[in-house]
Amino acid sequence: MDSLQPKYKSIFISDIHLGSEGCQAEALCDFLKSNTCEKLYLVGDIIDGWRLRKKWFWPQAHTNVIRRILTASKRDTEVVYIVGNHDEFLRAFLGFGMSFGYIDVKNRITHQGVDGKRYLVVHGDMFDGMMRSDRKWIMFLGDNAYNFMLMVNTKLNQVRRRLGLPYWSLSNELKKRTKKALNYIHSFEGHVADYCKRKGFDGAICGHIHVAEMREIDGITYMNDGDWVESCSALVEHHDGKWELVEHKPEFMRSSVKSEELVAAPL
């Protein structure tokens, strides 16, 4: 391989939630520094407009993320910003061909994979029944509950860190063990797959539900790149067409695992 060739063909990251206290900005900066690509897709909820409307929170680490992405776009990395529900304020400007410097802003886009397949790249809130206008208040309520859970989780992990224990996610445990949460996740994934099948896509790449996953659903390749609040995960496309989910944990989250580990079998 050419030593100047980027490490990956494409990288997909979503749900960074810049402007929220739960954002793992330092971990993301470290990941972007050590992982280059030809195409970088920011798959929604990059800036958390919901949080910023309630309370301004923007430390230097969040600015560093923006600077690193802008620098990548100036150094021949094609960067596409897909709008999500937390940064939906940008959707009002999409009709004007919006861009940030070299970064194109889209509601959705089609990615032609090295494997020859056509993938729908979209944040995924359009497939979430809770995002209907008559139910959106439930989503805002859930967002407040989620942020409270993150605050509790942060305090808990401060204690665990002093005891030399690895990072533990209360939210992820509830997602795995709660029947309603599992039903919600499976329903979301099914809606995405059904839409792709009807529209002639081979697969979908999305975020929104903060659950990294790669699997086949009725002949459709469903891939979710997770989040940068808890899992610190990304979806990567290798130059040979292989797909892989990776985790990139900051030091305080690590136990005996490597900083970058496979969390799903390569596809």
Which of 158 and 87 is assigned the larger pLDDT?
87
Mean pLDDT, rounded, for 121-137: 72
Output the pLDDT for position 154.
67
The strand pairing partners of 42, in sequence order, are 13, 81
Banded model confidence at residue 249, pLDDT cuts 50, 70, 90:
confident
The greatest distance separating any two alpha carbons of the chain, rounded to the nearest whole angstrom, comes to 53
Separation of alpha carbons 43 and 56, rounded Å = 23
Top pLDDT among 133 and 147 is at 147
Specify the number of domains making up the chain.
Answer: 1
Q: Which domain holds residue 95?
A: 9-108+134-177+226-264
Q: Can you give the pLDDT at residue 117?
A: 97
d(CA 187, CA 213): 14
Residue 159 is predicted with a pLDDT of 74
Query: What is the per-residue pLDDT for 100?
Result: 83
Q: What pTM was estimated for this model as a whole?
A: 0.80
Q: Tell me if 209 is assigned to some domain.
A: no
Q: Is residue 15 part of a domain?
A: yes
- Domain membership of residue 215 (yes or no) is no
Residue 99 inside a domain? The answer is: yes
Instruction: Tell me, yes or no, whether 206 lies in a domain.
Output: no
At 32-45, the pLDDT tens digits run 999 999 999 999 99
Answer whether residue 253 is part of any domain.
yes
Write down the pLDDT at residue 11: 98
Q: Give domain status of residue 200, yes or no.
A: no
Pair of tokens at residue 189 = 């994934």
Instruction: Over range 147-155, report the average pLDDT.
Output: 66
DSSP string, 137-158: HHHHHHHHHHHHHHHHHHHHHH
Region 155-183 average pLDDT: 64
| pLDDT tens for each residue of 50-65 | 889 989 999 999 999 9
Res 265: pLDDT? 41
Give domain status of residue 93, yes or no.
Answer: yes
pLDDT at 267 over 70: no
Mean pLDDT of 203-216: 95
